[in-house]
Amino acid sequence: MGERGAAVAVRVGAVSSLLGRASAAAEPTELVVAPVELHRRNLQRRLREARAPKDAFAFVDAPAVAKAVLDAAGERSRPIDRIDRLSLCRSALAADAVDVPRRLRGDAEGMPQVVEQVRGEVESVTNFHPARVEAFEATADGLYEPVDADARDVLDVALDAERALRERTPKAVSDTALVRRATRLLAATAGEAWTDAYPNIERVSLVGVSSVSAPQADLLGVLADETDAAVTVYARRGTGSYLEARLPSLLDVAEPGAEVFERR
């Protein structure tokens, strides 16, 4: 598993080296993955100001990558949006499908937002991967009272909410769910699904990040393991050194994209 961490390079505050690869090209050869649209626009603006061609780059986010992989394989790639999730959370709460402890409750009108926020934050930290959920549980159990109970309640609410949402829609619950699906597909096809979607891509660069979420880590790890693409994380100064030290352990999970719901 350590090979995966070694295969994903980290560059701290060195995005200029990425921009230095700007060139005229018939097709993009590098995916520039930026979680925030503003960062994608800033990079494109820098290229324009330098009068550098951007043909070699395709600027995307992780869900767009996932959708391309799933579409190329003929898999479903339509998620529900946040408004739909809030509506379904409201339905789940009305049916008592999500048990929210009193200390986490707000006003009744705002409860769907609370549940969705908790679900999304736990998803970002664990990607609902069995090993990470188990680690979350172990960490929660090791905390002092009453923080231990609070942490465990947060996890339980997130898992209950995710289950309830899945029961209420045939579509993917979120964009992040699509990233997990694509991650599993890439692993299951030994990278063939990647070649089908992106036959000309030689590099994948994650940019503009001060941290890497669990869903991003699982996708990058599979790309490093199963494809010939060079995978690099361009981290921001200030947090880059910490991220560089932390990334190998974040990548070190068996079966990236696996979900705890399959085993409970």
Whether residues 148 and 183 fall in one domain: no
Cα dihedral across residues 41, 8, 231, 12: positive or negative: positive
Amino acid, res. 77: S
Residue where a domain stops, chosen among 124, 139, 168: 168
pLDDT above 70 (res 37): yes
Average pLDDT over residues 24-31: 94
pLDDT of residue 101: 84
> Which CATH number characterizes residue 187's domain?
3.40.50.300
Asked whether 259 and 128 are in contact (CB, 8 A), the reply is: yes
- Write out the residue range of the structural domain in which residue 95 sits: 82-168
Q: How far apart are CA 95 and CA 98, in angstroms?
A: 8
Q: What are phi and psi of 247, to 5 degrees?
A: -60, -45
Number of structural domains found in the chain: 2
Pseudo-torsion of CA 88, 94, 95, 101, nearest 10°?
Answer: 100
Whether residues 162 and 191 fall in one domain: no
Whether residues 69 and 93 fall in one domain: no
Whether residues 44 and 160 fall in one domain: no
Asked whether 60 and 88 are in contact (CB, 8 A), the reply is: no
pLDDT in tens, 168-204: 999 999 999 999 999 999 999 999 999 999 999 999 9
pLDDT in tens, 58-75: 999 999 999 999 999 999
Residue where a domain stops, chosen among 147, 168, 189: 168
Whether residues 91 and 162 fall in one domain: yes
pLDDT in tens, 106-151: 667 789 999 999 999 999 999 999 999 999 999 888 876 776 678 8
Residue where a domain stops, chosen among 144, 168, 192: 168
